[in-house]
């Protein structure tokens, strides 16, 4: 009997997780022996490829430490700086470095790795939902991002975009997905969303899976449908694409899919005009078996809303990956989104785990300087402990901090499983952008300069990611004081609106791109009454914070703290236009 492809995938997962230690050691040996002669490794290993020497001599680094090397590669300097394999391009991470996206070098192997990773993360999903490739199409919302050309001529691409560009993917698109390639590459996010939803509606009876990489994107698509379903139904009825779509690729794609279908239009209209949109996904796409998107980490904030719309369809977070490397898969696709753990795949990269003192493991041993101890190998992590993830890859990253904190929740065979805990140093994030305390501080500093000419100073500020409606937006709470006197006059609206805009302009590259594409809504400043931050401090002290060591939080997570500030707001101001 013919075996199903995902059964092969499941068998491979068993083998990998059983032999994790050996696979990790072999992988590291391979990376070191191929790259021992690179400029980077030579200074630490002197041409040797020994694991113990690697652990002893190669430093743990962050992207910033590797950036000078990466910059040289982007500027076209000779090969063999970080990797012996030719660098074929870069992945653009949504994290930023000095306002620019981080660029991770890639080699030809990366495409092959993705194909393996995809088989592995999809296999447990198919085991539960059946081989959806055989039973219908996926309505996945996919948006390619523009590439950046580096001075060397090599291209920097988002990981997702590189997947969409791959010839194998494009070849299987018409059979397996409802979105034509033209809609994925349409540079206008609105037109792309409109067409991807429209084609998903037209192929309603074939849709067996609804999804995107991240939960926020699915939610944005639902909101978009909420605002545009009437227009889409009119298109379906007449078989003619709305004039709002001017992109020639989208119009071409439509011409081969669209024909008048008043019956379908009426059916969708009847569903969409219901007062409550609870369970709308199930109603509009009755054959959908699950919603596939990452709902862990920062995406956890979207679970409740997504559950409301999905009407009981399981939310499946299948994978954990990044621009640095592909990490892990979810072996229990049906488990609650808040309980998801990822099993790290030992064939994707060499992984190390730096113990992190965190709420989840107060007992973590620390050395005399109270610093975390040495990193441990994949198979040596301890249940219930938290770790920062380090990767060593065949593309030239060595002991590089990913910036994610993970907690060990169990083992599958000999391989640990982790829950995603948090992103280090990120305080604000409404989508995939990551804004650090330092990014925020810089933007506030730029904006508050505008207060000076009108005689105000900023005395306190904090922030909050408001995702109560999609798209989410950044909210800043500002407490102001007049430079002279104490008349408690209000700053003028024009200046405050300008402050919002200046903040947006001063935020990092990814924020600005997302804002321009309406993935993030306009930034808001809420001015609060004088003394509000004192009340906030009293609140935190009442909750156990030390009075003498109290530090104003740069970002507010607690609902009560938010209430305190919100009840003292005297003015709300929004950025008038996207940053330039």
Site size for ligand AMP, by CB under 6 A?
17
Residue 94 Cβ vs ligand AMP, minimum distance, rounded to whole Å: 3
**Beta carbon nearer to ligand AMP, 391 or 480:** 391
Interaction between residue 118 and ligand AMP (CB under 6 A): no
Residue 147 Cβ vs ligand AMP, minimum distance, rounded to whole Å: 15
Residue 348's Cβ-count burial label (10 Å; 0-12, 13-18, 19+) is buried
Dihedral sign, Cα of residue 275, residue 276, residue 279, residue 280: positive
Interaction between residue 94 and ligand AMP (CB under 6 A): yes
Residue 538 Cβ vs ligand AMP, minimum distance, rounded to whole Å: 34
Interaction between residue 321 and ligand AMP (CB under 6 A): yes
x/- mask, ligand AMP, residues 140-179, rule CB under 6 A, reads: -------------------x--------------------
In whole angstroms, what is the distance from residue 217 CA to residue 460 CA?
33
Residue 46 Cβ vs ligand AMP, minimum distance, rounded to whole Å: 32
Q: What is the DSSP string of 337-355?
A: GGG--EEEPTTTSEEEEEE
Residue 434 Cβ vs ligand AMP, minimum distance, rounded to whole Å: 8
Among 320, 350, 398, 464, binds ligand AMP (CB under 6 A): 320
Residue 214 Cβ vs ligand AMP, minimum distance, rounded to whole Å: 8
**Beta carbon nearer to ligand AMP, 307 or 524:** 307
DSSP strand pairing (290-294 vs 315-316): parallel
Interaction between residue 322 and ligand AMP (CB under 6 A): yes
* Bridge partners of residue 400, in order along the sequence: 61, 391
Among 74, 83, 123, 323, binds ligand AMP (CB under 6 A): 323
Interaction between residue 501 and ligand AMP (CB under 6 A): no
x/- mask, ligand AMP, residues 254-293, rule CB under 6 A, reads: ----------------------------------------
C-beta separation of 199 from 138 below 8 A: no
Dihedral sign, Cα of residue 345, residue 92, residue 435, residue 68: positive
**Beta carbon nearer to ligand AMP, 96 or 347:** 96
Distance set, CA 470 to CA 97, 213, 443 (Å): 27, 17, 23
Interaction between residue 393 and ligand AMP (CB under 6 A): no
- Among 87-95, 241-249, 271-279, 568-576, which window interacts with ligand AMP (CB under 6 A)? 87-95
Residue 102 Cβ vs ligand AMP, minimum distance, rounded to whole Å: 7
C-beta separation of 361 from 21 below 8 A: no
In whole angstroms, what is the distance from residue 354 CA to residue 540 CA?
30
- Of all residues in the shown chain, the one whose CB is closest to ligand AMP is 297
Among 402, 428, 465, 565, binds ligand AMP (CB under 6 A): 402
**Beta carbon nearer to ligand AMP, 403 or 471:** 403
Distance set, CA 320 to CA 120, 193, 327, 336, 545 (Å): 12, 25, 6, 16, 34
For the chain, the helix, strand and coil percentages under 3-state DSSP, each to the nearest 5: 45, 20, 35
Interaction between residue 217 and ligand AMP (CB under 6 A): no
Task: Give the 3-state DSSP-derived string for 164-226, with helices as H, strands as E and coil as C.
Answer: HHCHHHHHHHHHHECCCHHHHCCCCHHHHHHHHHHHHHHCHHHEEEEEEEEHHHHHHHHHHHH
Interaction between residue 415 and ligand AMP (CB under 6 A): no
Interaction between residue 423 and ligand AMP (CB under 6 A): yes
Among 140, 247, 305, 404, binds ligand AMP (CB under 6 A): 404
x/- mask, ligand AMP, residues 425-454, rule CB under 6 A, reads: -------x----------------------
| CA atoms within 13 Å, Cβ hemisphere of 30 | 14
The pair of three-digit structure tokens given for residue 208, joined into one six-digit string: 């067996």
DSSP strand pairing (524-528 vs 473-482): parallel
Can you list the positions of beta strands (E) in 315-446?
315-316, 319-321, 326-329, 342-344, 350-355, 376-377, 386-392, 400-412, 415-423
Question: Interface with ligand AMP by CB under 6 A: which residues?
Answer: 93-95, 159, 294, 296-297, 317, 320-323, 402, 404, 420, 423, 432
């Amino acid at each position: 009997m013919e075996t199903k492809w995902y059964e092969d995938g499941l068998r491979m997962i068993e083998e990998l997780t059983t032999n994790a230690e050996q696979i990790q050691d072999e992988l590291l040996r391979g990376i070191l022996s191929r790259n021992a002669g690179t400029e980077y490794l030579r200074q630490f290993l002197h041409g040797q490829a020994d694991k113990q020497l690697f652990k002893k001599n190669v430093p743990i680094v962050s992207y910033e430490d590797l950036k000078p090397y990466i910059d040289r590669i982007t500027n076209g300097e000779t090969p063999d700086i970080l990797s012996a394999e030719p660098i074929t391009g870069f992945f653009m991470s949504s994290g930023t470095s000095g306002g620019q996206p981080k660029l991770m070098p890639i080699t030809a192997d990366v495409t092959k790795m993705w194909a393996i990773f995809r088989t592995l993360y999809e296999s447990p999903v198919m085991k539960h939902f059946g081989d959806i490739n055989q039973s219908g199409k996926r309505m996945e919302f996919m948006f390619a991002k523009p590439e950046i050309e580096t001075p060397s001529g090599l291209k920097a691409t988002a990981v997702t975009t590189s997947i969409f560009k791959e010839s194998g993917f494009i070849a299987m698109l018409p059979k397996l997905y409802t979105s034509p390639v033209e809609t994925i590459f349409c540079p206008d996010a609105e037109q792309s969303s409109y067409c991807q939803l429209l084609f998903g509606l037209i192929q309603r009876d074939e849709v067996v899976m609804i999804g995107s990489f991240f939960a926020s994107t699915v939610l944005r698509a639902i909101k978009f449908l909420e605002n545009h379903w009437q227009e889409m139904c009119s298109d379906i009825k007449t078989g003619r694409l709305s004039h709002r779509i001017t992109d020639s690729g989208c119009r071409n794609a439509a011409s081969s899919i669209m024909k008048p279908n008043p019956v379908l239009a009426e059916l969708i209209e009847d569903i969409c005009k219901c007062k409550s949109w609870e369970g709308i996904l199930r109603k509009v796409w009755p054959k959908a078996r699950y919603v596939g998107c990452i709902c862990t980490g920062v995406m956890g904030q979207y679970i409740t809303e997504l559950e409301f719309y999905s009407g009981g369809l399981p939310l499946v977070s299948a994978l954990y990956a990044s621009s640095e490397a592909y990490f892990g898969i979810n072996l229990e696709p049906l488990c609650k989104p808040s309980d998801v753990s990822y099993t790290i795949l030992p064939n994707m990269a060499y992984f190390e785990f730096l113990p992190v003192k965190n709420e989840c493991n107060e007992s973590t041993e620390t050395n005399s300087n109270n610093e975390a101890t040495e990193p441990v190998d994949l198979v040596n992590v301890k249940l219930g402990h938290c770790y920062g993830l380090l990767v060593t890859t065949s593309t030239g990253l060595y002991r590089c901090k990913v910036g994610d904190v993970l907690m060990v929740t169990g083992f599958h065979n000999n391989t640990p499983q982790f829950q995603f805990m948090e992103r280090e140093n990120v305080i604000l994030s409404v989508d995939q952008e990551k804004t650090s305390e330092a990014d925020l501080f810089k933007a506030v500093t730029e904006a508050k300069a505008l207060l000076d000419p009108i005689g105000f100073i900023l005395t306190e500020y904090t922030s909050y990611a408001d995702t109560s409606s999609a798209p989410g937006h950044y909210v800043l709470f500002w407490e102001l004081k007049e430079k002279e006197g104490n008349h408690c006059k209000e700053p003028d609206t024009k200046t405050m609106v300008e402050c919002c805009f200046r903040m947006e302009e001063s935020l990092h590259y990814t924020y600005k791109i997302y804002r321009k594409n309406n993935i993030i809504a306009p930034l808001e400043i809420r001015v609060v009454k004088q003394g509000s931050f004192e009340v906030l401090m009293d609140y935190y002290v009442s909750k156990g914070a030390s009075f003498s060591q109290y530090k104003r939080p740069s970002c507010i997570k607690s609902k009560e703290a938010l209430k305190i500030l919100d009840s003292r707001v005297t003015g709300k101001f929004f950025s008038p236009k996207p940053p330039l």
